[in-house]
Amino acid sequence: MPTELLFRDDAYLTEASATVEAVNERGGIVLDRTVLYATGGGQPGDAGSLRRADGTTLAIGTAIYDPEDRSRVIHVPLEGQASPQPGEAVTVLLDWERRLKRMRIHTALHLLSVVLSYPVTGGAIGDGDGRLDFDIPEGGLDKAEIAEALNALIARNANVTESWITDAELDANPGLVKTMSVKPPRGSGRVRLVAIGDIDLQPCGGTHVRNTAEIGLVAVTDIEKKGKQNRRVRIALA
Ligand SMILES: [Zn+2]
């Protein structure tokens, strides 16, 4: 059974009841549904915990897609804990403080790709900081100028909304895809589009805040040259 990705429909959901589907030989726990984002798209998997029926909790260090069946999410427990049994009912809880920082940065990176409208070749999201790599032929980027433009977009208090389109509709609008290295997931027949007001629209499977006001002030902390045609721009929550 594929794991139901509850974070995809509601990134603000911090807990849910679930059933243990399987425990693999390394102790990884597959649930039928989860609120923990699984590592992907430059964003690390969420930490959290599983609360068992007897009230004890099991600390989860991260969540990843099962390399043998990417429709399933494996919850990786910290070492030295008792394993739950397949069929067991649990409550899966999210480390919300850390996730919210990632959601704020992730949404800010969408806006950074509007400020710097160059092809994106990579990116990563940390706890309160993140980066995008751009294919930019010339240098001359100014940290203060980028930060000012980025914070001006954040201050527009734009709503972030999600909708789904078919693969065929996406193929008819290739301009929607900004990232060259991270293609939107295909094969399920539909792709999720994320809109930030009338500022930005792109396919994305990640977790976002509901309004840009939640991002708060952002600083541009570094611009690195990565090869002849590449600039890495780092941002952080101020
Ligand atoms: Zn996104």
Question: Do strands 69-77 and 57-66 pair parallel, antiparallel, or not at all (unpaired)?
Answer: antiparallel
Span from the CA of 76 to the centroid of ligand 1 (angstroms): 24
Instruction: Say whether pLDDT at 4 is over 60.
Output: yes
**pLDDT for res 172:** 86
* Predicted confidence (pLDDT) per residue in 196-216, tens digit: 999 998 888 899 999 999 999
Protein residues within 5 Å, CB atom, of ion ligand 1:
204, 206
* Predicted confidence (pLDDT) per residue in 95-146, tens digit: 999 999 999 999 999 999 999 989 888 999 999 999 999 998 776 789 999 9
Neighbours of 208 (CB within 10 A): 21
Question: Do strands 29-31 and 57-66 pair parallel, antiparallel, or not at all (unpaired)?
Answer: unpaired
Contacts of 163 (CB under 8 A, 6+ apart): 192, 193, 195
Question: Do strands 33-34 and 4-5 pair parallel, antiparallel, or not at all (unpaired)?
Answer: parallel
Instruction: Say whether pLDDT at 187 is over 70.
Output: no
At 180, is the pLDDT very low, low, confident or very high (cuts 50, 70, 90)?
Answer: very low
**CA of 108: how far to CAs of 48, 148, 196, 235, in Å?**
24, 13, 10, 9
Span from the CA of 105 to the centroid of ligand 1 (angstroms): 10
**pLDDT for res 191:** 84
Span from the CA of 153 to the centroid of ligand 1 (angstroms): 16
Span from the CA of 87 to the centroid of ligand 1 (angstroms): 33
* Predicted confidence (pLDDT) per residue in 76-102, tens digit: 999 999 999 999 999 999 999 999 999
